[in-house]
Structure 1
């Protein structure tokens, strides 16, 4: 009885089929590809810019707030991303530290207008050397016209005035004027602002008398000394034969010379 039951069981037992090698051959390349991909990921590391990170801030947004917002956006988009692989935020720019938004051009500074150079006064100490002052008296043998021409050329070069002194060696007022001209205060004004030419009209020189009438054409009786101030261009500025002589003192002649020095 027992042998009958076992025999059919043995007869009906199926020999298991050997597994096909085809699926294993397909899975092996997939496993190898996964291993290669894992190796590349480990070598290169995760991306420094997580997926979904905020876009760079536009011009005008401070650099500090840009770094804070970028970091928070990266944390929200990829909470599991490692912090070590995140690129460090750029240091705040010089404009942000100064209070100027990034990208904004600083306002140009206004150029200060140049101050005009003051014109030096000829009555004060001038850089040019003082003009030569003739000694007292009048040289009757001198060529007065040549002296006047030379003084006018010098006046055009340095901007001083020409002072013509018409007088005579026997004139008391002319001697008094010479003494005042020799005083330091008056001599300083003369040397800084004038070229002095002394013309003798006390003799019989017709040429010198013609020069007197040229620069003082009002005529009549002349009271010596006749002082005539001439500009560098040759124009008469004042004539004491018309206006009257100043006081022949340091204050009188000094005031007259300062008045017509410029």
Structure 2
């Protein structure tokens, strides 16, 4: 019986020491939406939810304004799905994809709200919003990064909160 006591005693501290490691780990990555844009989604509610989550965890919000028929948007989606890019997105951003390819005047109004410089927009329009709700960068003004893993990853790292 004596040898089993130290064995059970040593198992218990091992379990105890594993718990703090889990709680001190980084928060769960944010969910990354799949490819494409949901024309039936309530983009305003999605943005509000992302901003609430960003306030809670300090991440930024990445607004991706695009269209399902947009070739550049599809290219960006392919990069977003790559493991390294998905890791950066999940760790640093709440991604909201907003369909501006249809007839949604509400989504077009959201684009003008977050990217007010107007004119003709080149999709995708990527807007980084801080956890406090301030626009940090807008690719309609700055131009899109190269729609490659290197280009998008550099953009994401630069603007992460």
Q: If the length of structure 2 is used for normalisation, what is the TM-score?
A: 0.84
2:35 alignment partner in structure 1: 136
Q: Counterpart of 1:249?
A: 148
Q: Which ranges of structure 2 fall in alignment gaps of 5 or more residues? A: 1-24
Matching of residue 229 in structure 1 with residue 128 in structure 2 = yes
Residues 20-67 of structure 1 show CA distances to partners (whole Å, capped at 9, x for unaligned) of: xxxxxxxxxxxxxxxxxxxxxxxxxxxxxxxxxxxxxxxxxxxxxxxx
Aligned to 1:115: none
Query: More strand per residue: 1 or 2?
Result: 2
Q: Give the structure with the higher percent helix.
A: 2
Alpha-carbon separation, structure 1, partners of 2:97 and 2:138? 15
Q: Note the C-alpha offset of 1:229.
A: 0.1
SS of the residue aligned with 2:38?
coil
Whole-angstrom distance in 1 between the partners of 2:115 and 2:51: 17
Q: Name the count of aligned residue pairs.
A: 137
CA distance in 1: counterparts of 2:103 and 2:127, whole angstroms: 21
Of 134, 137, 141, the residue aligned with 1:238 is 137
Q: Which structure is higher in RCO with an 8 Å CA cutoff and minimum separation 6?
A: 2
SS in 2 for 1:166: strand
Alignment correspondent of 2:60:
161
Q: Counterpart of 1:197 in 2: which secondary structure?
A: strand
Q: TM-score, normalised by structure 1?
A: 0.52
CA distance in 2, matches of 1:174, 1:187: 16
Q: What are the Cα deviations for residues 151-178 of structure 1, in whole angstroms up to 9, with x where unaligned?
A: 0000000000000000000000000000
Q: Between Structure 1 and Structure 2, whose CA radius of gyration is higher?
A: 1
| 1:186, distance to aligned residue in structure 2 (A) | 0.3
Q: Does 1:199 align with 2:98?
A: yes
Q: Secondary structure at the match of 1:154?
A: helix
Which runs of structure 2 are paired with 1:38-53 in the superposition (5 Å)?
none
Q: Classify the secondary structure of the residue corresponding to 1:162.
A: strand
Indicate the SS of the match to 1:228. strand
Q: Which ranges of structure 1 fall in alignment gaps of 5 or more residues? A: 1-125
Give the Å deviation of 1:233. 1.1
Q: Whole-Å Cα distance in 2 between the matches of residues 188 and 127 of structure 1?
A: 12
Residues in 1 aligned to 2:56 and 2:104: alpha-carbon distance in whole angstroms: 30
SS of 1:170's equivalent in the other structure is coil
Find the counterpart in structure 1 of residue 82 from structure 2.
183
